[in-house]
Amino acid sequence: MSVGGLFDLTGRVALVTGSSAGIGLALALGLGQAGARVVLNGRRPDKVADAARTLRHEGLSVYEMAFDVTDSAAVKDAVETIETSVGPIDILVNNAGMQRRAPLEEFAEDTWHELMTVNVDSVFYVGQAVARKMIPRGRGKIINICSVQSELGRPSIAPYTASKGAVKMLTKGMAIDWGKHGLQVNGIGPGYFKTELNQALVDDRAFSDWLIARTPSRRWGELKDLVGAGVFLASDASNFVNGQIIYVDGGVTASL
C-alpha cells in the first residue's frame, strides 16, 4: 500500500459524538475529507442538522443521528440504527464532553455527577456499544478525546481534570481488552484551542498572554491542527498504535 493509501478512509463509516460544533465538527470534517462517511451526533436535532448542511456543502457524505450519549439505552438503539441504515461502524470518535468551573470546595454534587456522566460514562456507553459490533468483525478504530488536563491541573477545574484523567485510563483499558480482537483504541489530548467554549479565555488578554508564553509553539491551537492526528488514528497508518494518547497541544505538556 502506498503512503497515501495508508491514510485513505474511503468507504468507511465514522461516528463522531458531540459533533455539531467545535472539535467534534472539525474532526468529522477531516474524516469526511479523507473519504469516510460521517455520522454526526448531538442532543439537539436542529444543531446536528445545521452541522450536516455545513459538511454537505463541502461535498461530503454525512448522516444525522441525534441522541443523548449519557442514555445507555438510546446509545444502543442509535448504534443499531447506524449499523443497519448506514453501515458497519469502522471508526468511533468519543468527543462529547462538557466543562464546569468552580473552586473545588464549592463545587456542587449534582454538577459533579453531571460532568462525570457526560465526560466519562458516555465514553463507556458508546465505546462498549460500538466495540460489541467491531469485535466480531475483527477490526475497528476508537478515538477518545482526552485533554491536556488528562495530565495537568488548573485552578477551579479539578472535577474536569479527574474526568479527563479517567478517560485517559479508560482508553488504555479499552486497548488492553480489545486489542486482541483487532481494535485500536487511542486518544487525542487537545491543548488550548480557539473554540466557542473557550472564547471567554481567548478574549481574556491576561490569560491569553500567559498561555501563549507558556506554550512552546507560542500560539493558541486552531481546530485544523487536530485533523491530522484524527485521520492518522482512524486510518491504517496507526494499525500498530494502541493505548496511546497523542497530545496536540503546541508543547504545553512537555514544558514546565
pTM of the model: 0.97
Cβ contacts of 242 within 8 Å, gap of 6 or more: 175, 179, 184, 185, 186
Given the candidates 3.40.50.300, 3.40.50.150, 3.40.640.10, 3.40.50.720, the CATH classification of the domain at 3-254 is 3.40.50.720
Please write the tens of the pLDDT for every residue from 98-125: 999 999 999 999 999 999 999 999 999 9
Tell me what pLDDT residue 84 has: 98
Whether the pLDDT of residue 168 is over 70: the answer is yes
User: Can you give the pLDDT at residue 197?
Assistant: 78
pLDDT tens by residue, 26-46: 999 999 999 999 999 999 999
Domains of the chain, by residue range, sit at: 3-254
The yes-or-no answer on residue 160 being catalytic is yes
Average pLDDT over residues 155-183: 98
Instruction: Flag whether pLDDT at 64 surpasses 80.
Output: yes
Catalytic-role residue among 125, 160, 192, 247? 160
Question: Which pLDDT band, with edges at 50, 70 and 90, does 165 fall under?
Answer: very high
Closest of 34, 52, 11, 22 to residue 230, by C-alpha: 34
